[in-house]
Structure 1
């Protein structure tokens, strides 16, 4: 069963049609590349899935049940997490503190309690081990590489037992070595049974790690193909409009 389905989803802002009649489904443990030029509707579609926008029309389903989201916290409650391009990390805190930010563990009796740092360090370390990341729980974020920062942001999603992780340009503006780290993190999510939507302009990354690629242009879905049945040349043509719709 698909973990997430969209049926004829559209979104308009006054006279502007940002997303038009998009249908798709994503299975557990599947990596889907979402590609398109600026203004193609990718960000709006992702914000609909993340609970930032309500669709103007259409239906969303999760695990076969109708899904209505009023705000991002509703999406998180259903297991939909987003890793923003800026990662939204606190540079002055440790990796573990960032993983548990807003969800800190406490211990104590009655009305008096203190932060349970030992448990948070231990659990964060377990998640980094699951991700096969070299990130350490006590490391300060400000001293981390781009790949390690991504590991911290992804660890937060695993703490909340995500079913779907939406990743916005995770390999932008980082080194080649760090790109390889991030792509490995995505594979670890996939191997854990978590679905990943990878929003990216980097064709090699999508063709390296994704199972499927969805291409949007002017608010419409113009392709939804397995990576094996497409090519970077075809996707480029679909993004630019040189190819109207994908070949079957």
Structure 2
């Protein structure tokens, strides 16, 4: 195989969760550019979506949602690539006492158990054919959890990383590579909207508002968050043959936010 061909994903079937917006959307687009036949899932299909036959409307934080995705995908044969991007936090501010039982379970289901259930449904087919690649998107909050409003999210992502590492050790001998990507802040539409609200609410410029966010993280040496395209480029590398001996790793992409080794 020539060097450029090692980047290509022609003839490979992929599933990306949370692919309707943000990093998930960018990953879908990148894998398509590399030649993969990409399916995606999210709760709602965007208006005018260009590949409706490759979109599964489902909530993968629920058991039934995972089952519906697995049924659609399994009917087409084994996957070559599975990328878990879906995630997020909706916990109210106020520290540990503000998160009740329902909030904890919601965060665990969205950020951790959904991936566990989908892997359990789809990976046996990969094992049967003896090849495949899985990427779990974690977060730098598994290493530097923020306690005010995202402790359940951070805890779920920490569990996802531990699970991902253990899974990689089990599946490597079956020809399946499992790795994780750990982003810091990402320049999504939601992030830009948050910057606007912060600036307007505190009489700041957008740059001042962004700097206040960076300061709350202890600084971002690069001076900016990653773009969704940069997240997608990293995932594209990890699922390609260029990463053929990378197993059980977690790649941090945070502009230097985590200050320790």
TM-score by length of 2: 0.30
Per chain length, whose mean CA-contact separation is higher, i.e. which structure has more relative contact order (CA < 8 Å, sep 6+)?
1
> Which of the two has greater helix per residue?
2
